[in-house]
Structure 1
């Protein structure tokens, strides 16, 4: 067996391994269809390796040659399709089919060209390059701008460019006088060795993008309260730190909220009703909060809202709206259920004083509950000494 034939076998198994990995990833990724497209694309593309062996050793190489070309093209089209879906770029099914048919038409043109002609490789490899470079362009044009996304685009550009490099090498070294002679040429050894490297590079980059996405989703789940749909305490605190670090007018405020007499709701109606109240209050926060607000459930019945680039006066008005909205929470079949909330509001005096802000808001919340509940209390910052006093606002 020639060196090129060995590379063909190796590349076949590399493609199969990546195909299997993406099939497994599809079980865990929210991009299930994308992972399956990648898996199918790599599996079909790997079949070209067996087809090339058929071209070299079969009695009738014609069908094998067509299968070798078509399998690579079909695999690349599926990969392009998956990339387009992943990066929210248009790629309708009819376009996938049209791309494949166009490439196969180009292949029929190649059959009538002398293999010794310098342009033979460019006509042969051109559709491959076009599909791959189009996939790279979709990544570049997408709204995703992470370092991994840029790295994937670069690898796709290199992969698309390598088809043109192979076309040039075919012109210099010669692809063999017949399809059967290809596997015995120096060009075949170089071509398949480059292909092996790029299969691994593209496969690893696609896998990395999907894996990072899975990790981000799992990290988001770990920082989210499943009952209310809001961030939990850890997720809330991290989101507040990110919000404070962003450029803005420097005025921020926080609202702390505690649902009144929540234990009595659980004792009177049952914990399932208490859970439903938590869910409804979470819905109220999500539907009412302005864009950019950080929402969290930081305790059993305790919630927090961080309003970036907002004055304490705006936060008080929003807290009043939340207080009024809380009284409208109702559950079917429970006309006697009454839900109210107490709210404490505090401004952020300085970027590095978030803990002080939370303490002041907690004190304001305590004052609201001590003063009779179902009300908003504001903590006002004094200049010197650095303390706060509390002021009911209703």
Structure 2
């Protein structure tokens, strides 16, 4: 077997490996349709290597040569479909079908031309360049600025240009007089070497895009409470430090559902889940832009209200209390109402978050002690003690913020 034949076999195996990788990734990716198109693209394009080998060893060569061209082009057009699904772009499938049909017909028409001439090489390579150029243009049009997305665009663009350059390289190096002689030519060795590099580069870039999206999605899911749809404690902790860095005033509202245990005792845990879900939805819809809303316990919730002073925070909490007191609970009998108690605290200037949370928590307990279904304001933050005519330093902020 010649060096080019060996590289054809290697390219086939590489493409099959990427096909399996994409199928594995599709099981976890939210872009599973795109991943499956990529798997199909590599599987179909890899057949080109087998057909190229059959050209040399199984006469007549013409059907195998045309099938090699068609399978490679079909794989590249499938790649364009996958790119469209990956970036949420519309794809004109009719245009791709027409391009495929016209290109295969053109390849059939030029088959008998000498392979070492530009008259054959340029029409042969141009459809590949166009197909990959369409994918590069689509990736660029998606407008993503992440390094991996830009790298994918660059690899696709380079691969597109590379096919045009191959037409001139075929003329300069010689690609054999016919399809059967191609595999023994120096140009075949160069062509398959470059193809191997581009197969790996494009596959790795596509896998990176998909895997990074999986990682980002898993990170988001790890910070969400599945039942309420709000942030969990970890998600709140991870975001609160950056939120506090913005100019104030800021306020905290702690919420606790009243007599929640009796709901579980009366209607079961499914009934309790209905209450949590309904309360979480109400908080999410009522929260102003930039607010952080989290479920931090079984029936405990916290809201961070940016650029909100105590008076506005109290009005906000009163509105929440009134809404919850009269709103029905989907999944529970129509007459059932579940109220909530609220503690409100404006975060003092330079006050550690943990102290503000403690004051809001004390206010919440005061609301519970006052009969529940009410709002209580926290005591003002303690002023730093004066020591030797200078203010003492406040303790460092605790990122968790929870007492």
> Which deviates further from its counterpart, 232-241 or 6-15?
232-241
Gaps of 5+ in 1: 388-394
Instruction: String of CA shifts for 1:176-204, please: whole Å, max 9, x gaps.
Output: 11111111111111111111111111111
Distance in 2 (CA, whole Å) between partners of 1:309 and 1:75 is: 54
Superposed, 1:1-394 pairs within 5 Å as 1-111=1-111, 113-118=113-118, 120-244=120-244, 249-327=247-325, 328-331=327-330, 334-349=333-348, 353-379=352-378, 381=380, 384-385=383-384
Name the CA distance, whole Å, in 2 between partners of 1:3 and 1:92: 39
Return closer, same or farther for 1:4/1:333 CA change in 2, 3 Å cut-off: closer
| Distance in 1 between residues matched to 2:307 and 2:198, nearest whole Å | 47
2:397 aligns with none
Are 2:41 and 2:76, in contact at CA under 8 Å, matched by a contact in 1? yes
CA distance in 1, matches of 2:353, 2:374: 24
Unaligned residue ranges in structure 2 (runs of 5+): 386-393, 395-403
Secondary structure of 1:91's match?
coil
Distance 1:104 1:251 in 2: 67
In the superposition, relative to structure 1, how do residues 146 and 381 fare at CA in structure 2: closer, same or farther (>3 Å)? farther
Q: Structure 1, residues 138-178: CA drift from partner, whole Å, max 9, x if none?
A: 22221433222222222222222221232232121122111
Contact 2:274 2:331 in 1 (8 A): no
State how many pairs are aligned.
385
Tell me, what secondary structure is at the counterpart of 1:306? strand
CA distance in 1, matches of 2:109, 2:306: 62
Name 1:390's counterpart in structure 2.
none
Coordinate RMSD, CA, aligned: 2.4
Contact 1:281 1:329 in 2 (8 A): no
1:351 CA displacement = 7.8
The normalised TM-score by structure 2 is 0.88
Higher alpha-carbon deviation: 127-136 or 365-374: 365-374
Residues in 1 aligned to 2:377 and 2:196: alpha-carbon distance in whole angstroms: 66
1:120–1:171 CA contact under 8 A, matched in 2:
no
User: Which moved further from structure 2: 190-199 or 216-225?
Assistant: 216-225
Q: 1:318 to 1:132 in 2, by over 3 A?
A: farther
| In structure 2, distance between residues paired with 1:313 and 1:107 | 76
Q: For residues 73-117 of structure 1, give each alpha carbon's deviation from its aligned partner in whole angstroms, at most 9, with x where no partner exists.
A: 110111111111111111133233233224324424543644333
Per mean C-alpha deviation after superposition, the further-off stretch among 126-135 and 114-123 is 114-123
2:81 and 2:244 map into 1 onto residues whose CA distance is 39
| 1:357–1:109 distance in 2 versus 1, CA, 3 Å | farther
Q: Greater shift after overlay, 249-258 or 182-191? A: 249-258
CA 1:256–1:194 in 2, change beyond 3 Å: closer, same or farther? same
Hey, what's the Cα distance between the residues in 2 that align with 1:15 and 1:314?
61
Which secondary structure state, in structure 2, belongs to the residue aligned with residue 56 of structure 1?
helix
